[in-house]
Structure formats: C-alpha cells, structure tokens
Amino acid sequence: RMQNSRSKPCSCPSLKLREVASMYFTLVAAFLVILVVALQGSAPRGTDFPYKVPLDPQGLLELSWNVSYPEQAVHFQLLIRELRFGLLFGMSDRGEFENADLAVLWSDGHNSYFGDAWSDAKGQLHMDSQQDYQLLGARRAPEGLYLLFRRAFSTCDPKDYLIEDGTVHLIYGILEKPVHSLQAINVSALHGGLQRVQLLKPNISIPELPSDMKTMEITAPDVVIPSQETTYWCYMAELPEGFPKHHIIMYEPVVTAGNEALVHHMEVFQCAAEFDSFPHYNGPCDSKMKPERLNYCRHVLAAWAMGAQAFYYPEEAGLAFGGPGSSRYLRLEIHYHNPLVFQGRRDSSGIRLYYTASLRRHDAGIMELGLVYTPVMAIPPGEDAFVLTGYCTDKCTQLALPAAGIRIFASQLHTHLAGRKVVTVLSRDGRERQVVNADRHYSPHFQEIRMLKEVVAVFPGDELITTCTYNTEDRSRATVGGFGILEEMCVNYVHYYPQTQLELCKSAVDPGYLHRYFNLVNRFNDEEICMCPQVSVPQQFYSIPWNTFNRDVLKSLYGFAPISMHCNKSSAVRFPGEWEKQPLPSITERLREPVPHCPPVPGPQPAAPIPLNLGQPRRD
C-alpha cells in the first residue's frame, strides 16, 4: 500500500512502480478467475460434510461441517433454502449477537458481498481487519444456495471466537432488505436465533459390528407435538418377556422427516429393577397424570442431542441390558423445541438401539462424579462466575477400582439452569494429569453423551475433580443444591469399562463446618439468622444478607473445609470406611492452560469484502 502519495506531485510513475502495478492487477484478475471457478464448482458430496444441523426452527438454513485436525480447521457448508438479501452466521460466547464473530453475506439489491466481521458490545458490525472466514465457494442448486467457507480453530485475532472442545453457540440472522454496507446492518432488527452444537467431533474410527447384531427402536407412538415452545414428552416401553442379557454396542437417532428442527434432544432410561412392573404412560413428563413411579426410571441407556451422530461403544465393551437383575421397563424422554408454535405436527422420533447376544469382553458402566445433591452446596445470588467443586478422592478409588484400573471413553456433563462451565480433571499424586472432559461454553439446554477424543485410564489412588461454574445474576436469593430445576447440580456421568461396583463418587462440604459459617454470619450481622435445628439449610441460606464479606467467606469455606465423601455402590450403600470430615485433596501442580496454536497469516489481507455474483435476490 502506498503511503503519502498525495504529498508530492508526480508526473509519471517509474518503470518499477508500473511493473508492480501490472503484477498486482494480474494477481487480482487471477484471483477473481479462481473465485468465479470456485463459485461454479461441483457440489460437494454429502460424505464430505458428515455433521449436519438445522439452524432455524423452519429448517430454511441447514449447516453441514467437517473437522480437519491436521489443518486445525472446520469446513462449513451452509444451505440457504430461500435467500433474501443475505445472512449473518457466526459464534459468540453464549449465543448473543453482541461481541460475536461473524461471516456475513449481504446484498445492496444489485451486488452481493461476503466478509468476516465482528460485532461490538452494542451490536454494531465492523469489518474484521483479519479475514479469517475464508470463502471457498458458492453455488445455486434446486434446493437453494450453498455457501462454503473455512475457519481455523484458533486465529489469534482478539476479535475472533476460539473454537474449542465442547459446546459452541452458533448464531444466524436473515437479512430481509437490501443494505448498502456492512455497517448499515441493524442486528437488533434481524430475524435470527441460535443453535448449539459440538463442532469439534472426536476423530474416532468406527469399531467393527458383529454379524448377529439386532436393532430395536424405542420411538414415540405418533404423538401430536404440543403447540407450545418447550415440551418434555415421556413414553414407557418394555422389553419382551424373558429378554436375556445383551450388550448395546451402538445407538443412533430416529427423527421423523420434517421434524428435524423440532426434536431437540432424546434420552432412553431404564427403570429400577426393584419394581416388578411400571404403569404405561404416554404424555408430557410434567403432567399431573404422570404416575409417580416413573421417577424411578433414571438409569441412562442412551442420550442424543441435535447435531450428534451415532454413538459407538469401544469394541471391547457393551452396555448390558436384559437378563436377571435388569428391569424390562424403559422410559423414552423427548424434548420438543417448538418456538414457532406449530400446531398438529405428528412425531414418531426416538432412538434405535443396536445390540448383540454375543457379549463383549467387558460390561460398560456409568459412574457419577461431582457434587452430592444437597443444599449444603449453595451459590449466592448476583454472581457472574461462582465456582463449586466436587471430589472423587484417592481413598475411594483405592478401595473401589480394580488394580488394572478403568477406561473412561465417554462423558455427559450435567447442571441445572445456572450452569455455565463444567470441567473434570484427573489428578495423580497431587498433580493434575489430564482433562477428562471440559465444556467452557456449557449450556444446560444442550446435554449429550460425548465420546472422548482419547480414552482416559483411571487407576486406584487417582482423584477425579469436577468443577462447575454458575451464573446467578438474574436471581435474588441463594441457589442451593438439589433436584428442583431452580436448585443446582454439578455432575459428570462418565461411561467406562470394565464395570465396577462404584456407581457414585461425589462429595459435599462437611455440614458441621457449614453450621460454623452460619454462626459466623450471625456474629457480623444485625438481623439474626435463626440457627434452630428446625430451620432447614435452604432457609438459613435464603435469610443471609449477601454482602461481600458473607460471599467471600462462603467461597473460602468451600475452598478449605473438609468434605463428606459419598463412595457408593449401586445399591446407594457406601463402601466400608470413614467418609465424613475427609481432607480436601491437595493439588501441588495444575495443568497448564493450552496455548492456542496460531496458523501462519498469509501476509496482510485487506479488510475488504469479496464480491459475489449470485443473481438477483428474492424480493417477495
């Protein structure tokens, strides 16, 4: 770029400058030819983009993608079924249109443009000085316009979103009118929304499936989706009488055609074996008509969320179901997300289980890590990032795990509505060794069983530490631990093999130390908090005035007070031993935060949009 060209009069450019200009225009012309060729290129094969999700409830925008770990990049294919005057697509911390990282396609009514942009705290758009959404092509097809572009996981551009493991909040906005510049786009007036996905799928080779494999579909019986935004639908199914022990070796979603944008997530639970029978039920999970006994169907067999593919068990393990000591009764739960309040839509979605009578070497097990469901663990109101930690201690793993250890291959993180981040770390001899699973953009509205990129080996004496971060800025009283949706949880359900007797390895603060905290608050407080035994722990938390002192002391208490350990067998009985007033595990060495890998920047690219020839946009 020439600087200060106006400061001196110049009659005629030198030969050198003429050559440079000629080369520059030749390069630009060549680039435009390449771009036009790319835009008219052949359609990518469906197999090139194995992952797919509808972005909007009507299914007008469909995103497909693939992940290249060698390139450290994601390739996106966006199908726009009815292109108006363009759209915004991008990522942000929790799905907001402010402080977002965006790829924008827009038209002024004559010409179309594509560019990498960002929005500030007020939602104003700016062209990014570093163009990291790289346009690879665009083409029209009978079903709509395909837009292909690429984005590195990490760009080291402070205006860009860092794509990492776990949940990514994708946002989209449709431009209904022509705009003359990127800056003229009013984000608040857009018809838009968000979709949560796990972008960085693990690169796992699919195990060989046995020849005697059978399938079973647990699906809703042609239900009418209620015309309301959110519905949890429960349906009871049962295995055949005398169904022997089998191994589930994979499962996949079965989604009724046309309902892909409405079926948000689905789970199949097995009921408790201590009951001989369970009543039939087909209706909303929160209905007063739902039999109470269905609450005893909580053992997860399969869980799927929008954007997830088939789930495969490792070839040496399968999830046991059927046979003696296993209930015949299953509960299917489907979350319908119907924000456009469609009426009369019928649905028979569910989950297809693949199972075999040829049992694999190991039964897979599911173990709960994190915090016990108890009100002694609480979050003050008005907190933007309050941290609670649950421990599975060395004493428990020493006692309960086999000498050869266990292998964790999948994980499902779980909190209620205030959860924002969940991380489980493996620690050995006081040193953090590896992350088991981490979701730094966790959403309670998007919970799936995720296969881990690499199997995690856990040996006797290891510690598993699960940390949850909560936001209670919209709450006026304390949030306590418990089962209610406005109470909180901090759980990691880890899927592992070989199955052991250890089903639950969780902790909570020692109740005696919490009682001392309430006493201390009373000493420094004008209004007495009633400490009498008949006042429950939640009531005591609700009556605390949440000044800085009371908040900081509670944080400190959770960081040093001894814990009550729950090292439980499947029958909810603790392993023998002393589990009260246990010392907190001491960590002498923390894992280093990963340093984002920055791709080489191919020289300074001008912050200018790329012109596209897409024909005339629809005006109807």
Q: How far is CA 255 from the centre of its chain?
A: 20
> Which residues are known to be catalytic?
232, 414
Residue 284: asked if its preceding bond is cis (omega within 30°), the reply is no
Q: Which residues of 232-244 are buried (b: 16+ CB within 10 A; e: fewer)?
A: ebbbbbebeeeee
3-state SS track over 378-426: EECCCCCCEEEEEEECHHHHHHHCCCCCEEEEEEEEECCCCEEEEEEEE
The two beta strands, 365-371 and 502-509, are parallel
At residue 419, what is the residue type? G
In b/e form, how buried is each residue of 175-211, taking b as 16+ CB within 10 angstroms? Answer: beebbeebeebebeebebbbbbbbbbbeeeeeeeebe
Distances in whole angstroms, Cα of residue 613 to Cα of each of 40, 139, 149, 179, 537: 10, 10, 16, 16, 66
CA triple 219-225-227, angle to 5 deg: 165
Contact 424, 242 (CB under 8 A): no
Query: ∠ CA 451-240-212 to the nearest 5 degrees?
Result: 55
Phi, psi of 541 (to 5 degrees): -65, -40
For residue 283, give the H/E element and its range: strand 282-284
Long-range contacts of 272-280 (CB under 8 A, 24+ apart): 272/296, 272/297, 272/298, 272/299, 272/327, 273/325, 273/326, 273/327, 275/327, 275/329, 277/329, 278/236, 278/238, 278/327, 278/329, 279/236, 280/236
Considering only CA atoms, give the Rg of the chain: 28
Query: What are the structure tokens assigned to 262, written together?
Result: 């409405």
**What count of other Cβ atoms lies within 10 Å of the Cβ of residue 168?**
21
Q: How far apart are CA 237 and CA 328, in angstroms?
A: 9
Rounded Cα gap, residues 508 and 493, in angstroms: 17
Backbone angles phi, psi at 166, to 5 degrees: 100, -165
Q: Within the chain, how many helices (H) and strands (E) appear? A: 5, 37
DSSP 216-254: EEEE--SEEPPSSSEEEEEEEEEPPTT---EEEEEEEEE
Measured between its terminal Cα atoms, the distance across the chain in Å is 43
Look-up of token digits 């990049």: 73
Phi (first) and psi of residue 559, to 5 degrees? -90, -10
Spatial CA neighbour of 126 closest among 181, 188, 190: 181
In degrees and rounded to multiples of 5, residue 510 shows phi and psi of -60, 125
The one-letter amino acid code at 385 reads: A
